[in-house]
């Protein structure tokens, strides 16, 4: 086989690995943008309402949470403000997960050994995978641009918004590829990339909320995306900076790939240390040991975000109390109940189901990958059943999810306490635990996928939370029929701690989660180790 043929084969392999997920992300991004823009007139109403919403968004707390408002009196500007950050985060998360899965994950499992035994070098294989992922992001950006143009928004703004989303996704891909050269495991590369992007998102939030720190946005891909100001200033320089950063990080990843051995990372695991045998004496202990390190990273990110939420509580509620008309418009835009501290935190606590549900899905996906890669085979050689191992994994992941909810409650209470906001710790904990049924749905869906579709555990497991949230956002934006909104689990969450829990809905979601977990466990019992 010639080198050219081998390169084309690797490109086809990469396209096959990410094609289905890429099409889903493209459809979500383009469809969500088109729906919000097309229904702008019916959603926003009069120009006075648009001006009022712009005044609402000028509040520092609103800017911190939802970004700087730009051209809200036009369909394109409102669409960017309403969906821009959500889609940028979606593209970034999908891009980084796809990159670490198809590069470091394949290498870690040994499936690249045969591939690299031929004519292609490690940098060449990595470069081919990166080009495919970059092409997917470019297609997503082009689709968003095309749909926004088709519904009548000005072309310059549509082009810059689509290009910004594509570049944000490309930067996440390049950053994940770089981390995959530094760290010897997929989990390490994924965790490092998530941490860097999380810091970038916080930098964007602080830069938008504090005028003196606005320069922080130039250090964040999400901040650079906001600085383009589509449909108003249509700036190009932030996109140039983001493109240059993406190219620099991507080139660094390819260069570093040629400076390490296959299966290794530039940061090598410590050798010659005494064996660490803690938590290896039982199946639950082993599951807990595998959970502790990633749980620490997720807890740090969740805690930092909700500490900021607590600090902003007084600023947000005071502004809306003094301006009830703005509170009404916020409710029409999908942010109801922001006029009181408890209503404000209840609205933000609902969003907590997305990261915690994703955490649960990712951890069970790691379990499925470990089983498929035969890393659990020595454990199965003992008198231990697969159902018992799955049960231990499920229990520890559920416990870790509760820890994340508790961390969010403690951080929000601590932030609110610093500004003398009326939020007792018990009320904060009740608000975070209120989203536990949605997390249970994610666990049930993930276990169902473990049993019947082990290669799709992360996507199917995160669907109730991430998909449900996107459905709610789109439904609110386009004034969808009630039955469409009811398909989202978030539509059935009560505004705790402003009100009491919706126990019938919580019990229904818990029941569905148990059914999904039971069917998934039955599927695991029937299939072989590799799916």
pLDDT digits (tens, 9 = 90+) for 200-235: 988 888 888 777 788 889 999 999 999 999 998 899
Task: Report residue 391 as tokens.
Answer: 């049960």
Share of the chain above pLDDT 70, in %: 88
- 208 & 299 share domain: no
Q: What integer is the mean pLDDT of 12-18?
A: 91
Q: What is the pLDDT of residue 59?
A: 63
Task: Mark which of 213, 235, 263 sits at the end of a domain.
Answer: 263
Q: How would residue 159 be classed by pLDDT, with cut points 50, 70 and 90?
A: very high
Could you tell me if residue 416 is inside a domain?
yes
Could you tell me if residue 273 is inside a domain?
no
Could you tell me if residue 382 is inside a domain?
yes
Could you tell me if residue 385 is inside a domain?
yes
Could you tell me if residue 268 is inside a domain?
no
Please say whether the dihedral angle defined by the alpha carbons of residues 292, 462, 371 and 269, taken in this order, is positive or negative. Answer: negative
> Which residues make Cβ contacts (< 8 Å) with residue 160, sequence separation at least 6?
228, 230, 234, 235, 236, 239
* Number of Cβ atoms within 10 Å of the Cβ of 530: 9
Could you tell me if residue 355 is inside a domain?
yes
- 234 & 306 share domain: no
The secondary structure of residue 270, as a DSSP letter, is P
Instruction: Decide if 157 contacts 77 (C-beta within 8 A).
Output: yes
Q: What is the pLDDT of residue 436?
A: 96
Q: Which domain holds residue 255?
A: 1-263
Q: How would residue 45 be classed by pLDDT, with cut points 50, 70 and 90?
A: low
- 89 & 222 share domain: yes
Task: Report residue 321 as tokens.
Answer: 């109390």
Cα-based distances in Å from 114 to 122, 263, 373: 12, 12, 15
Is residue 269 scored above 70 in pLDDT?
no
The secondary structure of residue 464, as a DSSP letter, is I
Q: Say how far residue 27 (Cα) sits from the centre of its chain.
A: 17
Could you tell me if residue 107 is inside a domain?
yes
Q: What is the pLDDT of residue 145?
A: 96
Instruction: Decide if 149 contacts 158 (C-beta within 8 A).
Output: yes
Lowest mean pLDDT among 239-248, 295-304, 396-405, 475-484: 475-484
Q: What is the pLDDT of residue 315?
A: 76
Strands (E), 253-351: none
Q: pTM for the whole thing?
A: 0.81
Q: What is the pLDDT of residue 361?
A: 92
Where is pLDDT greater, at 267 or 33?
33
Where is pLDDT greater, at 380 or 249?
249
- 161 & 255 share domain: yes
Q: What is the pLDDT of residue 382?
A: 81
Share of the chain above pLDDT 90, in %: 45
The secondary structure of residue 119, as a DSSP letter, is S
- 72 & 207 share domain: yes
Residue 93 exposed, middle or buried by CB count within 10 Å (0-12, 13-18, 19+): buried
Number of structural domains (the chain) is 2
Rounded Cα distance, 247 and 255, in Å:
12
Instruction: Decide if 434 contacts 345 (C-beta within 8 A).
Output: no
Task: Mark which of 230, 263, 296 sits at the end of a domain.
Answer: 263
Cα-based distances in Å from 353 to 76, 187, 408, 427, 463: 29, 22, 11, 17, 11
- 383 & 525 share domain: yes
- 2 & 98 share domain: yes
- 292 & 170 share domain: no
- The torsion angle over the Cα atoms of residues 160, 165, 171 and 177, rounded to 10 degrees, is -140
As a whole number of angstroms, the longest Cα–Cα distance in the chain is 73
- 241 & 311 share domain: no
* Number of Cβ atoms within 10 Å of the Cβ of 289: 15
- 361 & 395 share domain: yes
Q: What integer is the mean pLDDT of 237-246?
A: 96
Could you tell me if residue 475 is inside a domain?
yes
Q: Tens of pLDDT along 114-156?
A: 777 777 889 999 999 999 999 999 999 999 999 999 999 999 9
- 289 & 253 share domain: no
- 167 & 308 share domain: no
């Amino acid at each position: 086989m010639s080198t050219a043929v081998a390169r084309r084969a690797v490109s086809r392999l990469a396209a096959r690995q990410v094609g289905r997920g890429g099409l889903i992300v493209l459809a979500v991004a383009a469809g969500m943008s088109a729906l919000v823009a097309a229904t702008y007139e019916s959603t926003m109403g009069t120009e006075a309402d648009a001006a009022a919403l712009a005044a609402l968004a000028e509040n520092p707390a609103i800017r911190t949470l939802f970004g700087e408002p730009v051209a809200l009196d036009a369909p394109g500007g409102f669409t960017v403000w309403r969906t821009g950050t959500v889609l940028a985060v979606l593209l970034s998360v999908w891009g980084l997960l796809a990159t670490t899965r198809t590069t470091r994950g394949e290498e870690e499992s040994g499936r690249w050994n045969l591939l690299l035994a031929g004519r292609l070098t490690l940098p060449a294989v990595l470069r081919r995978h990166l080009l495919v992922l970059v092409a997917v992001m470019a297609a997503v950006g082009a689709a968003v641009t095309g749909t926004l143009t088709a519904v009548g928004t000005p072309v310059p703004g549509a082009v810059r918004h689509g290009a910004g989303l594509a570049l944000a996704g490309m930067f996440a891909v390049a950053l994940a590829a770089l981390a995959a050269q530094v760290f010897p495991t997929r989990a390490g590369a994924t965790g490092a990339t998530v941490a860097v992007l999380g810091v970038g998102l916080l930098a964007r939030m602080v830069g938008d909320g504090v005028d003196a720190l606005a320069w922080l946005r130039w250090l964040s891909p999400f901040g650079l995306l906001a600085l383009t100001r589509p449909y108003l200033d249509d700036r190009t320089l932030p996109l140039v900076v983001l493109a240059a950063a993406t190219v620099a990080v991507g080139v660094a990843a390819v260069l570093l790939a040629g400076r390490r051995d296959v299966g290794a990372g530039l940061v090598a695991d410590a050798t010659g240390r005494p064996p660490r045998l803690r938590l290896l004496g039982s199946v639950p202990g082993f599951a807990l040991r595998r959970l502790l390190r990633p749980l620490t990273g997720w807890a740090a990110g969740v805690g930092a975000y909700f500490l900021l939420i607590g600090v902003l509580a007084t600023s947000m509620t005071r502004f809306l109390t003094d301006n009830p008309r703005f509170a009404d418009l916020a409710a029409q835009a999908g942010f109801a109940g922001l006029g009181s501290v408890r209503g404000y935190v209840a609205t933000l606590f609902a969003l907590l189901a997305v990261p915690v549900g994703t955490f649960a899905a990712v951890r069970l996906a790691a379990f499925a990958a470990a089983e498929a890669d035969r890393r659990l085979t020595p454990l199965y050689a003992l008198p231990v059943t697969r159902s018992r191992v799955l049960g231990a994994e499920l229990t520890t992941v559920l416990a870790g999810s509760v820890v994340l909810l508790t961390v969010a409650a403690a951080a929000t209470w601590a932030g609110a306490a610093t500004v003398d906001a009326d939020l007792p710790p018990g009320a904060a904990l009740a608000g975070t635990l209120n989203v536990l049924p949605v997390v249970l749905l994610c666990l049930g869906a993930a276990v169902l996928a473990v049993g019947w579709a082990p290669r799709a555990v992360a996507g199917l497991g995160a669907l109730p939370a991430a998909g449900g949230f996107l459905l709610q956002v789109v439904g609110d934006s386009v004034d969808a029929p009630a039955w469409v909104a009811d398909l989202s689990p978030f539509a059935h969450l009560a505004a705790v701690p402003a009100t009491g829990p919706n126990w019938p809905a919580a019990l229904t979601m818990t029941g569905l989660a148990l059914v999904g977990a039971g069917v998934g466990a039955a599927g695991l019992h029937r299939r072989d180790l590799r799916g």
